[in-house]
Amino acid sequence: MRTPSRWQRLKDVVLSTDPRRRTLVGMALLALVLMMASAGVMLLVAHSDPATDPTFVQWWAAMSVGGLVVMTAFIRSGETVHLSDPSLTIPQMVWTITSGAVAYVLAGDARGLVPSVLAMILFFGTFGLTMAEVIGIGVYALVAFGCAIGVSARFSANPYGYLDTAYALMVMIVLGGCVALNLRIQRIRARLHEQRAALARALEVNRELATRDELTGLINRRAMQDLMELERRRNARSGRPLLLAQLDIDLFKRINDQHGHATGDRALQAFAGVVRASVRDTDVLARWGGEEFVLMLCDTQPDDGRELLERIRLAVAAMEIPHATGTLRLTVSAGLAQHLPGQPLEHTLERADQALYTAKALGRNRVVLAPAGTRPAAGAAAATFNART
């Protein structure tokens, strides 16, 4: 196993090894770096502008950066994972907007720097918010900076002039523009979410169509082959018995010829419903083609499988399917074979098929179990399997 580099180990210590938490901590650290940069600019202004009180700015910088440091540490600890807002986006934005409003008051003649910082805050933080939260944050920012503008005008040593008006207007323009743009982004995100949901539903429908028989709702032959192959591998590892049964509705062509294909379709649906109601949840029934069905019985002994097929045969014989001229009754013949370890699945299916033909030859409406030691003739099994698939 490759040893992590020193840089990778440092990242794991700072960001955590949990993928989701790494993302949250990374975003929080980015917000912290941006706040530190803004605090650095304000400290530079305080150092250069004699009208600005450096003590107030230093306290402001310490509080602003310190608040985000605490939130970042809280996120890194993992204590926020179970919260509805694990990234603490709203607390971080409220804190930084409040900090920005205070900075507007403290910056004096350099307060024109604040709108750019405000825009960065609003753009950075609102991508993970809902529409209502974006509006709420926008309203809070308008109120906070409205108060800051009022306080700045009230306590400024210089008379209120056109530059102060320009700064105030710029703050309101930036706030309004940011809120409007973020609402637009939220609408785009909502539309994309709807499109993804619609695409997921369409893919699920296509997947169902690809693996399900439309008439009976059973899985189709292709899906059944995949499941049988998975079960064959599991059987080879565990040694548990695996049975395959071929079921065929007796004289089904006569039903279509005498009563029409619509009645035949109803008969197939009724048959599938009765068989599904008779088997266990772990058993798998598939429509193999026409009136033929394949039943896979996992972890089932041959005698138990034969008993189950007998119950199915009796349940099918007891069915009554109404149609235009009376009531239709069905019978089913079944051939059952146990899968032999090391043998291909097509051999097992062919043995079940041969047992089915034996049941037909013996008069139909019966279950025949294939002898465990028999194998189909070489080449015949594969040819029959390929022809059916």
Task: Please state, in angstroms and rounded to a whole number, the distance separating the CA atoms of residues 262 and 181.
Answer: 58
pLDDT-derived band of residue 70, with 50, 70 and 90 as boundaries? very high
Mean pLDDT for 91-96 is: 86
In percent, the amount of the chain with pLDDT more than 70 equals 85
| Alpha-helix residue ranges (DSSP H) falling in the chain | 6-15, 19-48, 54-77, 89-106, 114-125, 131-155, 162-211, 221-238, 252-259, 261-278, 302-317, 345-361, 380-388
Q: Would you state the pLDDT for residue 379?
A: 42
Q: Would you state the pLDDT for residue 128?
A: 63
Q: Which two tokens stand for residue 302?
A: 């041959």
Mean pLDDT for 13-40 is: 83
Judge whether residue 380 has pLDDT over 50: no
Q: Would you state the pLDDT for residue 381?
A: 41
pLDDT in tens, 109-140: 677 667 666 666 666 665 667 777 777 877 88
**What domains, with CATH codes, occur in the chain?**
6-205 (no CATH), 221-388 (3.30.70.270)
**More confident call, 111 vs 262:** 262
Which DSSP category does 144 fall into?
A: H
Judge whether residue 249 has pLDDT over 90: yes
Q: Would you state the pLDDT for residue 216?
A: 92
Q: Would you state the pLDDT for residue 167?
A: 67
pLDDT in tens, 145-189: 888 878 877 666 555 555 667 767 776 777 777 777 777 777 887
Q: Would you state the pLDDT for residue 378?
A: 43
Give the closest residue to 58 by CA, choosing from 32, 77, 39, 76: 39
Task: Please state, in angstroms and rounded to a whole number, the distance separating the CA atoms of residues 102 and 148.
Answer: 7
Mean pLDDT for 330-337 is: 96
**More confident call, 273 vs 206:** 273
**More confident call, 244 vs 179:** 244
Question: Residue 94 in contact with residue 55, Cβ under 8 Å?
Answer: no
**More confident call, 30 vs 311:** 311
How high is the mean pLDDT of the chain? 83
pLDDT in tens, 348-369: 999 999 999 999 999 999 999 9
Task: Please state, in angstroms and rounded to a whole number, the distance separating the CA atoms of residues 122 and 186.
Answer: 13
143 phi/psi in degrees, rounded to 5: -65, -45
